[in-house]
Amino acid sequence: MKARNKLLTLGLASLLTVGSLSGVGSQPAQAEAKSYPVLLKINDYYVLYTAPKAPYVDKQSRIMIPLRSISELLGAKVSYDAKSKKAKIGMGGKTVEFSLGSKTVIVDGSATEMDTTPVLEKNTIFIPVSVLAKHLGIKSSVDPQTKIYSMTGDNLMQTNMIKYTLEDAETGSMIAPPGTIASNNAFAPISYTFDAVKESFTIKAKNITGADIPEGDADAAAYLITEAGAQFLNPKRERPAVKKDGTITVTIKNEAVGNDVNYLLAKGRLLDRSGSQ
């Protein structure tokens, strides 16, 4: 299959596994599990975790993300020279160059300044995503209520990892949600916890439709990506009714033994199941 071949070239196994049964009725992560805010959204995907460290806010209030995710999620061409400590990012005919520990940014050969610096975290360079988006011409905004930084564009989230590992797989009968997707903007993840003992993530999402959602129509979807492939929530999980401005939780566990999680992504969808009853 074409999709499988492309997955293999990406270095991910073609086998996709369905995550453990999760939903509002799932038990929450243990008390010692650490909670993290949700900071970033790219098109319809909320980006919760990026290996080796989740997106975070630095001392200058800039959201920092690892260089690898800029390639695998945004689709940019990236490189890093360890000797010069320079990261080069190319996309849409533009080139942006960052230097570790420096406030100087080189944009298409011209120097400009920013108010923060790239840093090295767990042997990975982290880049201020808003600075990058500005210089690459990516449309972006900050939600005044959730403070989530959003980037939108037809050329974003179009990598093989997203198109084939997630989206093609989710159209399959074993993984596809019941009914049709009425909206991708019904729930906003507001936080998540990670339980290191269980290797599970529990996501808390808020109903942002402005109305009650009937039983069966809420779909806070979660996706775990490892080197072994993608893992999904059970599409047959319970979907209780959610009040206006209410919240739901879903839990997804890493079932890929021996594989660390590279990404945790989520969507906040509303289903129309009128044709599937």
Cα-flanking dihedrals φ and ψ of residue 161, to 5°? -60, -40
Residue 23 lies inside a defined structural domain of this protein? yes
Q: How many domains does the chain have?
A: 1
Q: What is the pLDDT of residue 26?
A: 35
d(CA 242, CA 218): 7
- The per-residue pLDDT for 251 is 97
* 16, 232 Cβ separation under 8 angstroms: yes
Alpha-carbon gap, residue 84 to 192, rounded angstroms: 36
Q: Is residue 27 a part of any domain in this protein? A: yes
Provide the β-strand partners of residue 120: 125
Residue with tokens 């529990």: 202
pTM greater than 0.95 (yes/no): no
Per-residue pLDDT of the chain (277 residues), as tens digits, is 343 333 332 333 333 343 333 332 333 434 567 899 999 999 999 999 999 999 999 999 999 999 999 999 999 999 999 999 999 999 999 999 999 999 999 999 999 999 999 999 999 999 999 999 999 999 999 998 888 999 999 999 999 999 888 888 888 878 888 889 999 999 999 999 999 899 999 999 999 999 999 999 999 999 999 998 899 999 999 999 999 999 999 999 999 988 999 999 999 999 998 865 5
Provide the 3-class DSSP secondary structure of residue 3.
helix
Count the neighbouring beta carbons within 10 Å of the beta carbon of residue 239. Answer: 23
Residue 205 structure tokens: 């999402």
Q: What is the pLDDT of residue 273?
A: 86
User: Which residue segment(s) compose the domain that 207 sits in?
Assistant: 9-167+178-272
- Report if residue 210 sits inside a domain: yes
Is residue 172, in this structure, part of any structural domain at all?
A: no
Looking at the chain, the number of H-run helices and the number of E-run strands are 5, 22
The pair of three-digit structure tokens given for residue 2, joined into one six-digit string: 């074409």
Q: Is residue 44 part of a domain?
A: yes
Q: Does 85 reside within a domain?
A: yes
Q: What pLDDT is recorded for position 167?
A: 86
* Of residues 202, 215, 223, the one with CA closest to residue 246: 215
**Would residue 4 count as lying in a domain?**
no
Rg (alpha carbons) of the chain, rounded to whole number: 19
- CB of 270 closer than 8 Å to CB of 186: yes
